[in-house]
């Protein structure tokens, strides 16, 4: 398969934040931004893959600043990493107040997408042609995130958490929670 450059699939989506996207305080719901991120991740990944793609996982969604009604939100997406059938799309989200010209960086998130064939099976995607130091840095950072996620999953699965419940119950006493007597008896 011929490698495709990052520029081939780089995608920007800009949308005006209208009142129906907001809560009663005029702040945009996080889910609206997530939906826009999913759309731009789809467009970017499908352009690179030349196939229909599905969202598999999302990393790094931390909204640092609120987005207000009337602001223009731009989502800049590019393929950061390519595996065999999966690809990671990095998305930078900024919100601009057109009157003041102030631009806020609200978050940068990473969507893992998988290309599917006509039988709904994961299918190979073209390699990524890295042309700039930023392309290379983002590819390496995606590998690091993948390694960290694997190690996180290994250390934090539900079975282990359940097994350690009796041993760790004391930690709950310093937290803002209360245990019923019945639960205390079950855990003692
Ligand atoms: C993701 C999915 C395709 C994996 O299917 P599978 O039969 O387990 O296929 P594989 O094990 O070959 O994984 C395919 C790729 O997905 C990657 N992958 C699977 N689960 C992943 C996860 N949780 N996070 C990141 N990557 C993941 C694998 O590493 C592999 O990548 P690679 O080919 O680049 O090495 C399948 O679980 C699926 O279709 N999920 C539903 C996705 C969807 O419909 N999303 C829309 C939300 S409604």
The finding on whether 122 has its CB within 6 A of some atom of ligand 1 is yes
Q: Where are the domains of the chain?
A: 4-132
The finding on whether 74 has its CB within 6 A of some atom of ligand 1 is no
Q: What is the pTM of this model?
A: 0.92
What is the CA(177)–ligand 1 centre distance, in A? 37
pLDDT digits (tens, 9 = 90+) for 65-82: 999 999 999 999 999 999
pLDDT digits (tens, 9 = 90+) for 108-118: 999 999 999 99
Distance CA 87, CA 126 (A): 10
What is the CA(86)–ligand 1 centre distance, in A? 7
pLDDT digits (tens, 9 = 90+) for 134-167: 999 999 999 999 999 998 888 777 666 666 787 8
What would the DSSP string read from start to end of 5-72? Answer: EHHHH-EEEEEE--GGGB-TTSBBPHHHHHHHHHHHHHHHHHHHHTSEEEEEEEE-----S--BTTPE
Fold of 4-132: Thiol Ester Dehydrase; Chain A (3.10.129)
What is the CA(143)–ligand 1 centre distance, in A? 16
């Amino acid at each position: 398969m011929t490698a495709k450059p990052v520029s081939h699939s780089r995608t920007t989506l800009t949308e005006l934040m209208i009142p129906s996207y907001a809560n009663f305080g005029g702040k945009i719901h996080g889910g609206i931004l997530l939906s826009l991120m999913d759309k731009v991740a789809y467009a970017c990944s499908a352009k690179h893959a030349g196939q229909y793609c599905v969202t598999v996982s999302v990393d790094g969604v931390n909204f640092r600043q609120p987005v207000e009604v009337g602001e223009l939100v731009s989502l800049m997406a590019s393929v950061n990493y390519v595996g065999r059938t999966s690809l990671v799309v990095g998305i930078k989200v900024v919100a601009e107040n057109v009157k003041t010209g102030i631009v806020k960086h609200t978050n940068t998130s990473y969507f893992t997408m998988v290309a599917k064939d006509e039988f709904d099976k994961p299918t190979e995607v073209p390699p990524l042609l890295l042309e700039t130091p930023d392309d290379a840095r983002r590819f390496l950072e995606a590998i690091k995130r993948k390694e960290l996620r694997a190690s996180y999953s290994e250390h934090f699965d539900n079975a282990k958490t359940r097994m350690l419940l009796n041993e760790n119950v004391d930690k709950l006493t310093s937290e803002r929670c209360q245990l019923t007597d019945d639960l205390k008896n079950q855990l003692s």
